């Protein structure tokens, strides 16, 4: 039987349809003749009842469930992470390089153990409420599998315990109808993909493309074991010199260091994303997409979406504390660069893996609706001044695990087409 799958949206779907139209006329006759000859020969050697078994019932071709080109088209389906069973990662060199000095004793004491139970319980409840609100807004919500992250594992190169499946944005990026699994750099996250595999296999069976980037060995050579971090000044100096805890031993990247705007993706070299990882993505996505490296005055670069968050066509939030060194490039392209207000999160609220700037780590439901923290009244007013309705949700305790709304989600399907927004 001839099966034709029409892919949703974008130039690839259009090209597929165009190609089928051009080739169908001259290919069907030859194909049918070959099939007839093959089946006729087989029929001569098989009992009569074998022909009856060939009759199958075929369902109509279905739309690919995975399709997303940017951060703002109308959101239809999303993966939301889980706080359940979340564990503190062991205090290894790559964890030290990505966390603030005041929390180092916390990691030294609790590494390999559960995050504080009461705090975790509140985070779980907040994310459940976030899921309910997303469903109320018409979005299909999917979740990773609950896994026991306390189990110790060992490879030929290292041993570790796990961490969580809280931040799908870190491990999964959707580009068109393709899901890409990122080769993340933390040893505690080596097996994190297992929580998402049932979902990804389901999407694959329904027509999505599925790519796993080269899995790093995470051998000692991937990390600068003598990375000299003592003060914030050290971090600024090292970052300005282009020195990071991850080396160029093998490709690694967190998906959250990339942000999408149609045919253009923007990425930063960070503590968890190296140039080999960026180059792998560049080659993999070419020629349909361009990958642009941008940088910031950031003492601890890890994940771009609390520093530079694209929220609409030609509209980006740019962290005033971490200015983009290439901001003029965006202004010349006609983009509007908005500086969000200072976050309101209290100093005594624990943020074990992130800064207060999670306030700008928002999730766009479409160009005119944004999911924003209920406690951040100043950024709510900023969005309202831009004509964007705010969907207010409280995830303060979930923030402590290292992410805002954008981090806690991976958009699987947005209603839109592949376009260029950066010229």
For the chain, give the number of residues: 423
Q: In angstroms, how far is the first alpha carbon of the chain from the final one?
A: 44
Q: How many CA atoms lie within 13 A of 396 on its CB side?
A: 13
Angle, alpha carbons 288-294-295 (nearest 5°):
160
What is d(CA 209, CA 200) in angstroms, rounded to the nearest whole number?
A: 9
Average pLDDT value over all residues in the chain: 88
> How distant, in Å, are the alpha carbons of 185, 251, 257, 300 from that of 182?
9, 10, 10, 20
Mean pLDDT calculated for residue range 287-313 = 95
CA distance linking residue 145 with residue 218, whole number of Å: 24
Q: Which pLDDT score is estimated for 228? A: 81
pTM of the model: 0.85
pLDDT at 231: 72
Domain boundaries, the chain: 82-414
pLDDT per residue as tens digits for the range 369-422: 999 999 999 999 999 999 999 999 999 999 999 999 999 999 999 999 999 999
* Structural domain 82-414, CATH architecture: 5-stranded Propeller (3.75)
- Give me 400's structure tokens: 């402590």
Over residues 42-60, the mean pLDDT reads 39
- At 178-221, the pLDDT tens digits run 999 999 999 999 999 999 999 999 999 999 999 999 999 999 99
pLDDT for the residue 182? 98
Instruction: State how far the Cα of 225 lies from the Cα of 381, in Å rounded to an integer.
Output: 45
**303 catalytically annotated:** yes
What is the average pLDDT across 336-356? 96
**What gap in Å lies between CA 193 and CA 234, rounded to an integer?**
33
**Of 119, 303, 397, 406, catalytic:** 303
- Please state the rounded mean pLDDT for residues 84-90: 98
Q: Which of 324, 373, 407, 411 is catalytic?
A: 407
Q: Look at residue 310 in the predicted model and tell me its pLDDT.
A: 98
Q: Check residue 237 and give its pLDDT.
A: 82
170, 254, 257, 305: the active-site residue? 254
Q: What is the pLDDT of residue 73?
A: 98
Predicted pLDDT of residue 62? 67
SS3 320: coil
Long-range interactions of 340-343: CB distance < 8 A, separation 24+: 340/379, 340/382, 341/378, 341/379, 341/382, 342/378, 343/376, 343/379
Q: Over pLDDT 70: what percentage of the chain?
A: 85
Q: How does pLDDT run across 53-81, given as a tens digit for each residue?
A: 333 333 445 689 999 999 999 999 999 99
| pLDDT at residue 32 in the model | 37
Rg of the chain in Å (alpha carbons):
24
Catalytic residue status for 284:
no
67 is catalytic: no
Rounded CA separation 220/129 (Å): 41
- As a whole number, mean pLDDT of residues 222-235 equals 82
Q: How confident is the model at residue 232 (pLDDT cuts 50, 70, 90)?
A: low
Lowest mean pLDDT among 10-19, 96-105, 125-134: 10-19
């Amino acid at each position: 039987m001839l099966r034709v799958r029409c892919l949703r949206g974008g130039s690839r779907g259009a090209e597929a349809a165009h190609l089928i139209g051009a080739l169908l006329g001259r290919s069907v006759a030859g194909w049918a003749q070959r099939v007839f000859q093959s089946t006729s020969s087989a029929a001569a050697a098989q009992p009569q009842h074998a022909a009856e078994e060939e009759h199958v019932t075929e369902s109509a071709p279905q739309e690919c469930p995975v399709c997303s080109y940017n951060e703002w088209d109308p959101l239809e389906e999303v993966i939301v992470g889980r706080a359940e069973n979340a564990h503190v990662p062991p205090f290894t060199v790559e964890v030290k390089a990505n966390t603030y000095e005041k929390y180092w004793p916390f990691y030294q004491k609790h590494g390999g153990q559960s995050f504080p139970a009461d705090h975790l319980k509140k985070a779980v409840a907040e994310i459940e409420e976030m899921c309910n609100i997303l469903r109320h807004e018409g979005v299909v919500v999917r979740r990773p599998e609950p896994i026991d992250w306390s189990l110790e594992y060992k490879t030929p190169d290292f041993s570790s315990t796990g961490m969580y499946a809280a931040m799908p944005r870190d491990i999964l990026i959707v580009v068109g109808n393709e899901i890409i699994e990122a080769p993340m750099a933390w040893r505690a996250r080596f097996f994190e993909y297992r929580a998402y595999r049932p979902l990804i296999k389901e999407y694959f069976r329904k027509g999505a493309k599925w790519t796993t980037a080269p899995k790093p060995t995470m051998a000692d050579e991937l990390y600068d074991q003598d990375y000299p971090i003592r003060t914030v000044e050290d971090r600024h100096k090292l970052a300005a010199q282009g020195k990071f805890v991850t080396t160029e031993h093998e490709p690694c990247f967190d998906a959250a260091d990339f942000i999408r705007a149609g045919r253009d993706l923007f990425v930063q070299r960070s503590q968890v994303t190296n140039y080999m990882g960026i180059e792998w993505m560049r080659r993999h996505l070419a020629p349909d997409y361009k990958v642009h490296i941008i940088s910031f005055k950031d003492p601890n670069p890890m994940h771009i979406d609390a520093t530079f968050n694209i929220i609409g066509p030609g509209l980006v939030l740019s962290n005033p504390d971490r200015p983009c060194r290439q901001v003029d490039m965006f202004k010349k392209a006609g983009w509007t660069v908005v500086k969000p207000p200072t976050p309101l999160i209290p100093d005594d609220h624990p943020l074990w893996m992130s800064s207060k700037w999670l306030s700008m780590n928002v999730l766009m439901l479409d160009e005119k609706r944004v999911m924003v923290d209920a406690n951040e009244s100043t950024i709510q007013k900023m969005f309202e001044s831009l004509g964007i309705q705010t969907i207010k949700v409280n995830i303060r305790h979930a923030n402590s695990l290292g992410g805002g709304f954008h981090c806690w989600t991976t958009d699987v399907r947005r209603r839109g087409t592949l376009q260029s927004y950066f010229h």
